[in-house]
Structure 1
Amino acid sequence: MKAAILEQFNHPLTIKNLEIPTPQPNEVLVKVKASGLNPLDIKIQQGAAAHAQVALPAVPGIDMAGIIERPGDNVRSFKAGDEVFGMAGGIGKLQGTLAEYVSVDADLLALKPANLSFKQAAAIPLVFITAWQALANKGKVTFGQTVLVHGGAGGVGHVAVQLALAKGAGVFATVSHNNRELIESYGAIPIDYTRLSVEQYVNEYTDGLGFDLVLDTIGGSVLDDSFKAVKRNTGHVVSILGWGTHSLAPLSFRSATYSGVFTLYPLLSGEERASYGNILREATKLIEAGKLRPFVSSTHYTLETVNNAYADLANKSISGKIVVEI
């Protein structure tokens, strides 16, 4: 099979021929149709993602959608010919998805939404799993709450906005002026962070009370802003990039709470992988019900042009999720 290989950090990927993997018990061999890229893929290529524990040479790529070629022993949940998607590899010692085939733990997969193409489906797994963990598992989002999503037009952000809306929350999202229409098209309220300070938009949109649930998808100073934007006593902040050093004083003075999300852990540890297949089944339900749609770039990339895809993602020169079709 053809596969993209990362042989040195901070170098382009190369295309090589590898042996098609053999599925182990509880794995399925998947013919990959599309591989979705995420900012983490860029950090891995640059050698700036020690937490991903990738050892070179490696096949990168975390997300994928494809067709099951052959189930391994003990797999009863899928059969040959099933169309599936999942956050499947590219982390630790797991082969990534920028290849014609990948052998995947069946627990990590779910049936692809029938109303999405392979390209669209490959844009979903990591961002949806992260958004679900943040809002549903950690944030316990419920009907009628006010939810603020920082970075609402980003990969995790645009999915989180739609997920919170599907849960019946009133949703606000910080975005630049250029992304107002995208957020409005989902039914949420855009907040131009370049025009308003935290104090100003908390006053304008919550009468100074703060938001019930705040999701930080950016980290750094935005997490500090989140501590100032959350509601007193009952509010909760969740961050997917809470890795820096921060003062907890603003959060403590509001008597609010905080949670962090580390989406890679089940792939690295082997623990709780079935939870990811279950979360993706929730994604399929929402997508097939018309409550969630991915924002995918129309630009066409293949294995042969994979370095162009990486460059465009790194330069942020393309709108929408970048997906490599295989």
Structure 2
Amino acid sequence: MKAISYSSFGDAGVLEYGERPDPKVGPDTVLVKVRAAAVNPVDRQAREGNLDGLLDTVFPVIPGWDVSGVVVQPGVAVDEFAVGDEVIGYVREDFLSRGTFAEYVAAPVRTLARKPLSLSFEEAAGLPLAGLTAYQVLHRTLRVREGDTVLVHAAAGGVGSLAVQLARHAGCRVIGTASERNHEHLRTLGAQPVEYGDGLADRLRALAPDGIDAAFDTVGGEALRASAETLAPDGRLASIVDTEVFSYGGRYAFVRPDAQDLAHLAELAEQGIVSVHVDRVFPLAETAEAHRLNAEGRTRGKIVVTVDWDAPEG
């Protein structure tokens, strides 16, 4: 099969497009023919070796954890999915090697859910990792409640935009940090936009004089400090990027594959409660360029890589 892989840590230049062996289908996995795979900031962290202390790396590595596609072969013990089922997945194992930037991926059933019919394959590929991160942080880590004032950093990005929608669905007031060019987009999602940069804590106090009930940090550094400074007395703080959150009494979160959570997100998408904005689409052979663009950190929504193929009949 055609795939993207790398044999050493480094910048996007280590990514190579070429032939890799087809994946083996285990008893509780399904072989998915990939239609699209989304790029996430964690892909760069993995490629540069920054996750080497958390996850073992087996070179060569096919990157990517997000996928949308079609089941072409269920494992012998799988009865959850059949040939022809359209699926989405956050296909993360406990080591780095067998990712989703390829024509095929063998996905454990615990990582999959049925694809929302209302989303294109490109949109659907952007839902799993970002959606699960947003959902699990809001509802498991921060435990948001109706009426809370919730702060979401980088609110126009992949995780942030879904967090805004999910928090609004939970009945929360949402304040979102973003660059000026994305403020109107945030308003359409139901968030009150606020500019990044110097003076952020003062701007947040002006918007929420009684304090922030729940702060969702996706940026770290100064954004994290401003969040901690503007919490309500019983406010909760979580970060997905900066372990300094512990020094502020907050919690660090790392998204987990969860088929039930993913199915719930798919249902919310089907109902039109959450949507995925796709900013750019690249063919599989141009994954390195997609990685470079994602590293700039100015994307609205998701960058997606697609695999061209003819869908099976029947």
SS at 1:130's partner residue?
Answer: helix
Residue 114 (structure 1) aligns with: 117
Instruction: Measure, in 1, the Cα distance between the counterparts of 2:242 and 2:41.
Output: 16
1:161-212 superposed Cα distances (whole Å, 9 cap, x missing partner): 111001111111111211101110111111123374313422x222x21011
Deviation at 1:28, TM superposition (A): 0.6
**TM-score, structure 1 normalization:** 0.87
For residues 3 and 91 of structure 1, do their structure 2 counterparts lie closer, same or farther at Cα, with a shift above 3 Å needed? Answer: farther
Q: Count residues with an aligned counterpart.
A: 304
Is this contact kept in 2: 1:89–1:97, CA < 8 A? no
Quick check: 1:241 aligned with 2:241?
Answer: yes
Match of 2:46 in 1: 44
| 1:213-272 deviations in Å (ceiling 9; x for gaps) | 11111112222221112111x211111123237743xxxxxxxx5222122xx5xxxxxx
* Structure 1 residue ranges without an equivalent (≥5): 249-256, 267-272
Aligned match for 1:288, one of 243, 250, 270? 270
| Residues 29-69 of structure 1, C-alpha deviations (whole Å, 9 max, x = no match) | 10010010001112222223323433321111111000001
Q: Does 1:72 align with 2:75?
A: yes
- 3-state SS, counterpart of residue 199 of structure 1: helix
Note the C-alpha offset of 1:126: 0.8
Q: Which moved more, 1:3-12 or 1:179-188?
A: 3-12
Say what the alpha-carbon RMSD is for the aligned residues.
Answer: 1.9
How far apart are residue 317 of structure 1 and its match? 6.2
Question: What amino acid is the match of 1:53?
Answer: D
Q: 1:35 corresponds to which letter in structure 2? A: A
* Residue 142 (str. 1) matches residue 109 (str. 2): no
* Structure 1 equivalent of residue 215 of structure 2: 214
| Offset of residue 16 of structure 1 | 2.3
Cα 1:323/1:66, change in 2 over 3 Å:
same
In the alignment, what sits opposite 2:62? 59
Question: Structure 2 residue aligned with 1:261, among 253, 277, 281?
Answer: 253
Relative to the length of structure 2, the TM-score reads 0.91
SS in 2 for 1:55: strand
In structure 2, what is the Cα distance between the partners aligned to 1:277 and 1:246?
A: 29
8 Å CA contact retained: 2:62, 2:101:
yes
Could you tell me which amino acid in structure 2 is paired with residue 56 of structure 1? F
1:303 aligns to 2:305 (yes or no): no
CA distance in 1, matches of 2:298, 2:225: 28
CA 1:318 to 1:188, structure 2 compared with 1: closer, same or farther past 3 Å?
closer
In structure 2, the CA distance between the partners of 1:159 and 1:317, relative to structure 1 (3 Å rule), is closer
* 3-state SS of 2:14 partner: coil
Secondary structure of the residue aligned to 1:43 is helix
Question: Which residue does 1:19 correspond to in 2?
Answer: 21
Cα contact 1:217–1:241 (8 A) shared by 2: yes
Alignment partner of 1:78: what SS? coil
Could you tell me how far apart the structure 2 residues matched to 1:213 and 1:15 are?
Answer: 42
Letter paired with 2:277: F
Structure 2 partner of 1:158: 161
8 A Cα contact 1:68 1:83, kept in partner: yes
Identity of aligned residues (%): 35
Q: How far apart are residue 91 of structure 1 and its match?
A: 6.0
Which stretch of the first structure deviates more once superposed, 209-218 or 312-321? 312-321
Indicate which of 283, 296, 309 corresponds to 1:315.
296
Q: Which residue of 1 aligns with 2:2?
A: 2
Counterpart of 1:251 in structure 2 is: none
Q: Structure 2: state its 5+ residue gaps.
A: 308-314
Query: 1:325 matched to which residue of 2?
Result: 306
| Equivalent position to 1:30, from 20, 32, 36 | 32
- The alignment partner of 1:173 has SS state of strand
Q: Measured at CA, do residues 121 and 194 of structure 1 come closer, stay the same or move farther in structure 2, by a change above 3 Å?
A: same
Query: What is the CA deviation profile of residues 138-159 of structure 1, one whole-angstrom value per residue up to 9, with x for unaligned ones?
Result: 1111211111112211221111
Q: Which has the higher strand share?
A: 2
Q: 1:26, CA displacement in angstroms?
A: 1.0
CA positional deviation for 1:292: 0.8
Query: Distance between the aligned counterparts of 2:303 and 2:245, measured in 1?
Result: 31
User: Which residue identity is paired with 2:242?
Assistant: G
Tell me how far apart the structure 2 counterparts of residues 47 and 304 of structure 1 sit (CA, whole Å): 22
Local SS of the residue matching 1:33 = strand
